[in-house]
Structure 1
Amino acid sequence: MKVFITGSSGYVGYKVMQSVLEHGHEVVALIRSVEGQLLYEPRVTYVYGDITDPQSLSGVMDGYDVVIHLVGIIREVSKKGITMNRIHVEGTRNIVTEAKKAGINRFLHMSALGAKQNSHTAYHQSKWEAEQIVRESGLSYTIFRPSVIFGEGGPGPNFVNQLRDLVKNAPIVPVIGDGSSLLQPVSIKNVADGFAKGVELKQTIGKTYELGGPEQISYLKILSLIADSLDKRLRKIHVPITLMKYIVPIMEKIPQFPITNDQLTMLLEGNITSTAETYYKDFGIEPIPFEV
């Protein structure tokens, strides 16, 4: 199959691209600039375009069978026009429109665990709206909603690596509340292989899958595991949730700050699923336990 991928130069996207290639498919990757080829893959054809600019997408999908749409952000930079709505909603609308013009029928879409209507975060709200665009497109879609993703991937932000940097470099690590908020980290390989297999798995068409690992782990436990892997004592301070809600909206403007206000809200809400087994069963994938 001929597969068109957006977001292939990102943390998850690069791993998805590799898995699609390993499954024997031909790949063309959409990139905005030459920087998108920093991890150059000779088996891939690269084309230039911007998901927020419909004109730049004209004709780039012609002749392909499947679209895998992975572009996403976790942090807005409003001054540069990088917003959740512009990237997740309008970007998805533009990709769907061009896919239909190109006669492509199969569409695999990256969303996020917790995406829902009337969400408390711009991130999850925009992800939900993007899902609705895909659902109403008339395309043969599959939607993937992963929890926090761990493992070695491409460049770009990675929640677990950001926590590792915090534990490694900070003299004292702030813990949100009592640290009991639950996450269900899913292996990047499990995510990538799902997209690659989904290219041809007709039984997944029209379905939305929640992806989580085999374990539900508290935020504090993840920090402790990271500290153990670094052979370092976890020096921590528990910060009241009310105080974090005041600090994070101010500090998130600093790119190096490891958590955004949306991420804080998502963490407090929990990021777990009870239906992950359906994903592994339908895609024939063995779940990989969390590791740092």
Structure 2
Amino acid sequence: MKVAVTGAAGFVGTNLVNQLVADGHDVVAIDRVSPAHCLDHPQVTWTSADIFDQDALAAAFDGVDTVYHLVAMITLKQQDELAWRVNTEGVASTARAALAAGVRRFVHCSSIHSFDQYTDNGVVDETSPRSEDPALPVYDRSKWAGEQELRKVIADGLDAVICNPTGVYGPVDHGLSRINGMLRDAAQGKVPMFVEGNFDLVDVRDVAKGLTLAAERGVTGENYLLGGEQVRLFDAMRTVAELCGRFRPLFAVPLSVLKVVVPIAEPISHLFGSDLVSRASIAALVAQPTVDIEKAKAELGYEPRSSADTLADLVSFLCDTKQMGSARPKSGLPFESVLPVTVA
């Protein structure tokens, strides 16, 4: 079968392309770049296309059975015009191109952030309230708005399903992502402390598999939460450090302390060109929702692996690919290595 992946050179894209090739599909891998790490395989054709150019996308989708749309802009900012446009208009443009090309199925990779995580009962499932509150960060609001744009195209005849991963981590990652980057810091013994808090983390390889299951078995117009396991981030940091025989974080900083520090540190972070230190960066940890993935399990046959397996595989991958060098944040802010990040 011939399939297409937008954002194919990214973190999730790399793993999805690997999964699709392993499943025997011919892949049209669409991205603005094709880095050296991208899969060079007879079944993969790399092409460059702008997600706002519907004609170019429709041409790339010619003869394609399934399109996986992964392009997104992740940010911790409260407002960001480019992120809003990519995460909303970009979805609409890609979906319209797929409809014009006669694609059989469209799989949109959204995010858990499109659901309002401050629920009354502490549980998020596919029926939970959405991220409509203007006070929420732009990423959360834009991911929900992007889904609404897609539903307009579904109403016009596109057969599409939506997947909502939680916090994505694990191999393969040549980036590294923010979560994997912090785990690498800890594996090197460079994280003396970390913030208290739990979050649902999912292996990127399980996300890739979940997306293909949604393409095969998902119901048109439905959302499927692709979660993994509730992980105490401080424990994850200690685990990877121990696996590498390095200095482990000594203690977890209470969120109450971080709430006091962030209003002071946030403006300083912005001066350094960073969005990591912000109210948005701790919002998910404050909420700490339980993510119910029973719908994906029942309807898709989705079964994520354990966090212990992911952490061990990530450490092995980092060592095998010689990515255990310096992992300081680009901004150089001394407090960034103890702060959480937004997720997929």
TM-score (norm 1): 0.84
**After the TM superposition, which residues 1-292 of structure 1 pair with which residues of structure 2 at under 5 Å, given as runs?**
1-35=1-35, 38-54=38-54, 56-75=56-75, 83-115=82-114, 116-119=130-133, 120-138=136-154, 139-168=158-187, 173-176=192-195, 179=196, 181-201=197-217, 203-213=218-228, 215-231=229-245, 232-236=247-251, 238=253, 239-248=257-266, 250-251=268-269, 254=272, 261-270=279-288, 272-273=290-291, 275-291=292-308, 292=311
Distance, in Å, in 2 between the alignment partners of 1:208 and 1:38 is 29
SS in 1 for 2:153: coil
SS in 2 for 1:50: coil
SS in 1 for 2:142: helix
Alpha-carbon offset, residue 21 of structure 1: 1.9
Alpha-carbon offset, residue 197 of structure 1: 2.5
Sort the Cα spacing of 1:147 and 1:34 in 2 relative to 1 into closer, same or farther, 3 A.
closer
Q: Structure 2: which amino acid aligns with 1:269?
A: A
- What do the CA deviations read for 1:115-173 (whole angstroms, capped 9, x no partner)? 13324111111110111111221222111111112220243342331222333567554
Q: Structure 1: which amino acid aligns with 2:100?
A: K
Does the aligned pair in 1 maintain the 2:167–2:199 contact within 8 Å? yes
Greater mean alpha carbon deviation, residues 181-190 or residues 237-246: 237-246
SS in 2 for 1:90: helix
Distance, in Å, in 2 between the alignment partners of 1:135 and 1:170 is 46
Q: Structure 1: which amino acid aligns with 2:153?
A: S
Alpha-carbon offset, residue 58 of structure 1: 4.8
Alpha-carbon offset, residue 259 of structure 1: 5.9
- What do the CA deviations read for 1:236-287 (whole angstroms, capped 9, x no partner)? 56243221243245426757886665333233222541x2122123222332
Does the aligned pair in 2 maintain the 1:249–1:261 contact within 8 Å? no
Sort the Cα spacing of 1:89 and 1:158 in 2 relative to 1 into closer, same or farther, 3 A.
same
Does the aligned pair in 1 maintain the 2:163–2:223 contact within 8 Å? yes
Sort the Cα spacing of 1:182 and 1:131 in 2 relative to 1 into closer, same or farther, 3 A.
same
RMSD: 2.8
Sort the Cα spacing of 1:249 and 1:147 in 2 relative to 1 into closer, same or farther, 3 A.
farther
SS in 2 for 1:200: helix
- Kindly tell me the number of residue pairs found equivalent between the two proteins: 283
Alpha-carbon offset, residue 57 of structure 1: 2.9
SS in 2 for 1:28: strand
Does the aligned pair in 1 maintain the 2:237–2:248 contact within 8 Å? no
Sort the Cα spacing of 1:262 and 1:253 in 2 relative to 1 into closer, same or farther, 3 A.
farther
SS in 2 for 1:247: helix
Does the aligned pair in 1 maintain the 2:27–2:44 contact within 8 Å? yes
Distance, in Å, in 1 between the alignment partners of 2:160 and 2:258 is 42
Distance, in Å, in 1 between the alignment partners of 2:41 and 2:162 is 26
Q: Structure 2: which amino acid aligns with 1:95?
A: T
- What do the CA deviations read for 1:205-224 (whole angstroms, capped 9, x no partner)? 321011211x3222322233
Distance, in Å, in 2 between the alignment partners of 1:169 and 1:37 is 23
Distance, in Å, in 2 between the alignment partners of 1:136 and 1:36 is 37
Alpha-carbon offset, residue 56 of structure 1: 4.1
Does the aligned pair in 2 maintain the 1:172–1:236 contact within 8 Å? no
Distance, in Å, in 1 between the alignment partners of 2:10 and 2:271 is 21
Identity, % of aligned pairs?
A: 27
Alpha-carbon offset, residue 186 of structure 1: 1.1
Distance, in Å, in 1 between the alignment partners of 2:94 and 2:185 is 36
TM-score (norm 2): 0.73
- What do the CA deviations read for 1:98-120 (whole angstroms, capped 9, x no partner)? 11111124110111113133241
Q: Structure 2: which amino acid aligns with 1:59?
A: A
Does the aligned pair in 1 maintain the 2:37–2:174 contact within 8 Å? no
Alpha-carbon offset, residue 66 of structure 1: 1.2
| Unaligned segments of structure 2, at least 5 residues | 115-129, 312-344
Q: Structure 2: which amino acid aligns with 1:111?
A: S
Distance, in Å, in 2 between the alignment partners of 1:279 and 1:253 is 42
